[in-house]
A and B are shown apart, each in its own frame.
Chain A
Amino acid sequence: MHIPDGFLAVNTWAPAWVISVSGLGYCIRRVSGALKDKMIPLMGVMAAFIFAGQMLNFPVVAGTSGHLLGGVLAAVLLGPYAGAIVIAVVLTIQCLVFQDGGLTALGANIFNMSFVGAMGGYMIYNLIRKAIGSEKGILAGTAVAAWASVVLASSVCAVQLAISGTSPLRLALPAMALVHMLIGIGEAVISVLVVGFVLKTRPDLIYNKEDA
């Protein structure tokens, strides 16, 4: 879902850059007081894992592949703000070093995957976690939020394509949402496996606002 240069018009990518830079500034302010020492190496480790995971495209349907986005995974362990920052780091390195996602589109990619994916996904996760409670709530919340985060991020991407005049919304939105409903299943499976493993081995690493 990394938008390359050329897909977005300046009327879309320029505001997306402004929103993403201010949004990341807000995330940094929110995190700076609350970041615990144990979370700093976890930020590095999560970024590394998500970067590696994003390289592993899995086949979905007829000549289409998908890969992990990792927004919900990062947010479940690091909270929404540090999670969003980690995803932004991954996207920035992918763009600058590997030409994955355009430089003009980087703001939009950060908007979609950090803010819609990690922060929006975390809101869904948190609602479900609180409603169900216990480990079951964490796993159910991770699964639903991971799936929804991919579908939502891809839908917002379709809106950006429409604003740019690249593809009309009535074509781009259903096409993007539909294929990402399938890719989202992979996202949910991977996220639940990793969160389940963390719950078994280091449950204290799951982000908990109350003790932050």
Chain B
Amino acid sequence: MNKKEILLWLAVSLILAFFISPFASSSPDGLEKVADDKGFLEKGEAEPAFISPLPDYVWPGVHNEGFATGFAGIMGTLIVFGVAYGVGAAIKR
């Protein structure tokens, strides 16, 4: 992959994460739905073992929900790109 192709794929991912993610379905996913139906959802609602900086893909302090999700999406996409690239480079060495 040359630089142009990498940037292109990354741009597509960033566009999905920023512009499309605010329109994603907010219904519970398969596991949450089953947990709700079978009555064990509340087991997952205790204090988590670790508090993340951006829980639920929401950028703190941004009032517009769409932007809050979009910014979190951009941040996550870039972090994941960098970490996976770095892990690949480290393994190769």
In the complex, the chain A residue whose C-beta lies closest to that of B8 is A45
B34 touches A93 (CB 8 A): no
In the docked arrangement, what's the CA distance between A21 and B69, Å? 31
Interface of B is mostly: helix
Bound-complex Cα distance A53 to B17 (A): 8
Contact between A89 and B80, CB atoms less than 8 A apart: yes
The answer for the CA separation of A25 and B9 in the assembled complex, in Å, is 28
Total number of A residues with any Cβ neighbor in B under 8 Å: 70
How long is the Cα–Cα vector from A157 to B31 in the complex, in angstroms? 9
Contact yes or no, A7 B40, CB < 8 A: yes
20 more CB-based (< 8 A) A-B contacts, given A48-B81, A175-B37: A6-B45, A38-B1, A42-B1, A43-B84, A46-B84, A48-B80, A49-B16, A51-B77, A59-B25, A59-B27, A89-B84, A90-B84, A93-B80, A95-B50, A97-B54, A98-B55, A98-B57, A102-B48, A157-B31, A176-B34
A: residues with CB less than 8 A from B are: 1-7, 28, 31-32, 35, 37-53, 55-60, 63-67, 82, 85-86, 89-90, 92-100, 102-104, 154, 157, 161, 166-167, 171-172, 175-176, 179-180, 183, 202, 205
